[in-house]
Chain A
Amino acid sequence: MKVDLKKVEEILSRYDQAEHSLIAVLQDLQKEFNYLPQEALKLVSERLGVPYSQTYHVATFYKAFSLIPRGRHLITVCTGTACHVKGAPLILDALKRELGIGPGETTPDMEYTLETVNCLGSCALAPLVVIDGVYHGKMMGTKVLKLLKGKEGDASEES
C-alpha cells in the first residue's frame, strides 16, 4: 500500500520539529492511517531529528500505536476491573471464538480488529464493549455476537 507522504508532512507541520512532538505526531498518524506505516515513521524520524531506533521504540512501547493495518471495524472489549468481575472474560472468549482471532489481531479479510482496553471509566455500563466508537453497555457473550451479526446486515433479535 502506498502511503501518502503529503499527509505525513501536513501532520508534522502542526508541531514543533523537535523530539518532544514525537508522540503527538504518531498519535495523529495513527488516527489518519489507522496504523503507523514504516515510510511515515522514517520521515518523522528525519524531520524531528530523532533516531529511527527511538521512533520505533516509542511506536512499539505505547499501546495506542499499531505497526500493522487494522480492520474496517474495531471491536474493543473493556477489561478494567469492574468489567472483569462482571464478566468481560466470557465476552472476550465469545468474540475470540466467533472471529477466530485474539486481542490485537485482525481477521484475514480485514473486516474486524479485536482489542482490549484497560478501562474506559464508564464502569456503570460494565461490562462494556465498544464497536466502531459506539458504546454497548451491560454486555454479555450472547448479546455481543448478536451485535456482530447485526453488523453483517442480518436482522438481529432484541432480547
Chain B
Amino acid sequence: MRLRSPEDLERLRKRAQAERKEREGKKGIVLCAGTGCRGAGALEVWEAFRREIGERADVRLMNTCCHGFCERGPIVIVEPEGIFYQRVTPKDVAEIVAETLNGGKVIERLLYKDPKTGEPIPYEKDIPFYKKQKRLIFGNNRYIDPTRIEDYIALGGYKALIKALFEMTPEEIIEEVKRSGLRGRGGGGFPTGRKWESCRNAHGEPKYVICNADEGDPGAYMDRSLLEGNPHSVLEGMIIGAYAIGAHEGFVYVRNEYPLAVQNVTTAIAQAEDYGLLGDDILGSGFSFRVKVVRGGGAFVCGESTALMASIEGKPGEPRAKYIHTVESGIWGKPSNLNNVETWANVPLIIREGADWYSQIGTEGSKGTKIFSLVGKINNTGLIEVPMGITLREIVYEIGGGIPGGKKFKAVQTGGPSGGCIPEELLDLPVDFDELTKAGSMMGSGGMIVMDEETCMVDVARYFVTFLEDESCGKCVPCREGLMQMRKILERITRGEGKEEDIPLLEEICEAMRDGSLCALGGTAPNPVLTTLKYFRDEYEAHIKEKRCPAGVCRELITYYIDEEACTGCGRCLRVCPAEAITGEKKEPHRIDPEKCIKCGSCKEVCRFDAVKVK
C-alpha cells in the first residue's frame, strides 16, 4: 500500500500503535537474535520457543536484534512484566514457558546477579550495565522487529521525515543539523551540517548520498547492530539528508561479512519502497529518492571515503589525494555526501526533537551520545550508548563492571588501528572527539578494547602495524614502506632482538608517515606505536634492554613452568602437550622441560589448578 500523503502515514501510525497497545499487558517473549546472540545460540532458543508455544494466540514471539549486553546472550525478555533472562539455552525454554509465562513465577537461576551483592536483578533497567547509559539511538532495538516497518512507525518513525519534507526547506534542515553540533560518528568527527552544506552548494548533477557501513575497525560492531536492529532509522536519516542536499540516489555500502545487516537493510528498503517512503514523489512531496545496497569486498581501506566510492564504481578500493573533496567530486566525479551509519541514525532524532534539545547532551565540542563497543578484558562485553563527556572510568568500571579475574587494568584502546592506547592515569578523561585526540588517540568508529596486565603493549603495537600493513592498499610509499619497516622493527623487539636505537627510529618513521601518507590510513597508522611509546615506554625498554616481556606474551622472551605447590599431578597438561615436554608421575608435581617446550600454551589452558605459570 502506497502512502500518498503525510496523513496516510499518520493513519498507518495510528493503526500500528493501536496494534501495539493491544499487545501491552499481554504475554510475550522478546528474544535478542542479533549476530552476537546468534553466535551464542539464540536461533536454537528461538526454535525451542516456537515448538513450545506452537499456535498459542495469547503469546507473541518477537525476534529483535542487539540489546547490547552481548556478554550475557542469548537474552530473553518475558512480557508483560519485562523479566530479563540471560544466557538462555534451549534447555531452559520449557521451564520459562511453564514457570514464568504461564505461572508468573521468576526463575532466579536465569536472572542477572549483581556482581557486588550477588542479588538477582529481574529487570533490565536495574542492571548496572544499563543504568549509566543514555540509549537514544540504540534503545529502540529492543522494541523493534527489524523486518517490520510498522514497528518503527509505531515508535514515531518517519515523523522527522514528514517534518523535513513538509515544514522545512533544505536550508533550514542543514541549519538545524549544523546547530545541533552533530559530528561524523565514523571517526573523523567532521561537522555533519557543514559537510551537507558543501555538498548542496557543489556544482554538478546528479548528487549522491552514501551510508558508510563498511565497519572495518576490529572490535567495533555498533554500525552493524544498528543496521541489523533498526535499519529504518538509518534510512530515514538518509532520506532527510538527501532532501537537504538535493540528491535523488543513495547507496548503503555494507560489509559482506555482515550477512544479517545486508539482509535486514535490503528488507527495510523494499518495505519503505512499498509504502512510498522511498521512490518517486515520497508522501506526495514531489521529492524522489532511491537507495541501493552495495556489498563490500572485505578491504579495510574501503572505510576511507574515496576508496569506498571507487569500490562502488567497481574499481579496486584505492584512495586518492583529496585536493578536491568528495562532496564536490565523489562517485563518478559527482558531488557525493558520505556519512557513517550512526551519524545517519542521529538525524531523525535531531529533526524530530530539534537542535536545541539535542545540543544539551554532550560536551562543548561533541554533542549527543556515542555508541561504543566495549570489548576485550572486560566483564560486561557489549554495546553501550553513553552521552559524550562520560569518563573512561565510568565506562570501564561502572558500565563494564571492571576487569575479569581480579586482574589489573592496563589500557583501553580506542579508535581502531588508527587510534591509540590510553593508560590508567588518564581514566578520568571525559570521552569526546577532542579529548581523545589530545590524548594521542581518537574516537574512531567507537571500538573500546580493554587490556589488562597480561596484555603486552609492544605486541599490541605490532598487532596493529601488522594489521595495517596487510590492509594498506600500497599506493603511496610512506604507508606501504613505513608500515613494513615498523613491523620488522617491532617483530625484532618482541623477539628480544631489539636495539636501543630502534625507539628513535620508530618515532622517525611515524613522523614521516604522518606527514607523507596519501590518506588517513597511513596518516594515523603511527598512533598505536606513538601512544604505546608515550605511555608504556618501560615495556619497550624491558623488551630491548632486559630481553623480558613483562606481560608474559612475547613467545621468544617467556618460559612456561609449573608451580610445584599448586600442581596436583593430575596429568591433564602432560596429555595435551604436543611437544612431549612435560614429565611427572601421577599425583606428583609435574615439570616442563624448557628445551622441548614450544610455548603453545596448551598446558596453561587445561590446568584446573592455575599451576602453569609464565615468567
Contact = CB atoms under 8 A, between A and B. Distances in A.
Interface of A: 18-24, 26-27, 48, 50, 54, 57-58, 61-65, 79-82, 84-87, 90, 93-94, 97, 117-126, 128, 135, 137, 140-143, 159
B600 A90 contact: yes
Contact of A121 (B73, B258, B317): B258
Interface string B326-345: 00000000000000000000
B143 interface: no
B576 A142 contact: yes
A81 B449 contact: yes
A122 B35 contact: yes
A128 B38 CA distance: 13
A124 B375 contact: yes
Contacts of B312: 20
Nearest to B318: A61
Contact of B297 (A62, A79, A118): A62
A87 to B, nearest CB: 7
B85 interface: no
Nearest to B215: A121
A137 B39 contact: yes
A5 B248 CA distance: 37
A50 to B, nearest CB: 7
Interface stretch (B237-245, B280-288, B376-384): B376-384
Contacts of B413: 81
Given A21-B314, A57-B316, A61-B317, A86 B377 contact: yes
Contacts of B220: 119, 121
A113 to B, nearest CB: 15
Contact of B375 (A57, A82, A159): A82
Nearest to B572: A159
Most B CB contacts (10 A, CB to CB) among A50, A58, A121 go to: A121
A50 B316 CA distance: 12
A120 B447 CA distance: 13
Nearest to A159: B606
B589 interface: no
8 contacts: A82-B375, A87-B601, A118-B216, A121-B215, A121-B221, A124-B381, A135-B38, A137-B40
Interface string B284-306: 00000000001111111000000
Contacts of B218: 79-82, 84, 118-119
A123 B294 contact: no
Given A81-B218, A119-B221, A65 B300 contact: no
Given A124-B375, A125-B40, A85 B602 contact: no
Nearest to A62: B297
B315 A97 contact: no
B215 A94 contact: no
Nearest to B471: A118
Contacts of B71: 124
Contacts of B299: 61-63
A38 B375 CA distance: 41
A64 B107 CA distance: 45
